[in-house]
Each structure stands twice: as structure tokens, then as C-alpha cells.
Amino acid sequence: MVRTVYGGPNAGEERYHYDGARLVAIDEFFPIHETVRGKAWRADVRNVGGRVEVGDGVLTLHGQVIWRASDEPFAARLARAVVPVVDDLLLSLHSGIDRLRPVDRVELGFTLGAVLVVTTAARYVDSGKVEGPHWADRCDDDEHTLLREAALDVEDPVAAIGEAVAAELATRDVRRYIKAPPDVAIVISPSS
């Protein structure tokens, strides 16, 4: 049996049901909306708990569709979503590191929690020290569904999104934001 166990004042569990390797249903934890602080992905967060049926790109609860996969191809959605994410990362670098010290590498770290977030850091040439802003940026699209859409389309959604963000960042002139050579390395940090 595959399950998620929740502790704290609202202890309980969520169970996942499979037909072979395919997820077919989730016994959703009733107070699941109390386990995260992020924006809800459902319009009515009171309508949670019970048997969620997993169909072909559709989730239903009590016979009502609560989520439907986008008709937009994932590759197009990903390409559209990474541009504003990288814009935000560049502003974070600009505001969060010493812009007068030269850097030779920009590192991206991806953390999966209630949402996918990305942190940026830069390695200073003079000391080899890696520093970055003390905040993270949400790595998502304007509908807050990028990670869910990725999970329907690729084997490792975090890696797919991370690689797309790194590839987009590599096309940008980071020298407008930090002191770096034209060929500054862009890497996904190993701890991500």
C-alpha cells in the first residue's frame, strides 16, 4: 500500500490505489487543505476529502470534475512559463549578491514542497564562495499548474522544469544583472 501520513493536530493518512503501475484513485485526507500554506489549486478548498478518481487527465470527486489537464501541449506551456521565472531569477541575483565582485558560476537549486521553488546563487571568482539571495522564487506558470502538468508528461518533472529554466537562463545576458564573463557557467546545484 502506498500512502502519505500526516502528523500534528490533524493526524491521518491519504491512500493511493493502483491498477498495475497506473494511479486510479486517491483516498484524499479530509483536512489536507490545512497541511499547506500555499495557494489552493481548487476553487473550493472546503470540498476536499474522500475518493478522488484519477482518469485520463481528469480528477473527479463525488462525480464532479475538480481538475482537468490543460489542452495546451506541455512543451508549449513549459516554454511560456520559464521566461517569467528566469526574469524573476535575474532580478533576485541582481538584488541578492554583491554586483561589484566577479562571478564565474550561477547555481540553481530546486526544492519540491507544496510548490516547486528555485533558489539562485553565484560563485565569486576571488574567494570561490557561493552566495545568493535569502529568498526563493516560485517556479510555476500563471495558472499554478506547471508541476502537475509536467508530472503527466515527463518521468522527472522537477528535472524537466529545472533543465528548461537553466537552458533559458543560459540564453540571457546575465552581465546586465551581475559581474560575469559572457560564458558564465549555469548549473543546477547537486543539492537540488
Answer with the one of 25, 49, 68 that is the final residue of a domain.
Answer: 68
Q: Are 185 and 108 in contact (CB under 8 A)?
A: no
Q: Are 142 and 164 in contact (CB under 8 A)?
A: no
62 and 123 co-located in one domain: no
153 and 98 co-located in one domain: yes
95 and 15 co-located in one domain: no
Residue 113 belongs to domain spanning: 74-188
Question: In a structure prediction context, what are the per-residue pLDDT tens digits for the chain, which is 192 residues long?
Answer: 788 888 877 788 889 899 888 889 989 887 766 665 555 555 555 567 789 898 887 888 888 887 787 888 889 999 999 999 999 999 999 999 998 999 999 999 998 776 788 999 999 999 999 999 988 888 888 777 788 788 778 888 889 999 999 999 999 999 999 999 988 999 998 644
Cite the beta strand spans of 1-89 per DSSP E.
2-6, 12-19, 22-28, 50-54, 58-61, 64-68
Q: Which pTM was predicted?
A: 0.73
164 and 86 co-located in one domain: yes
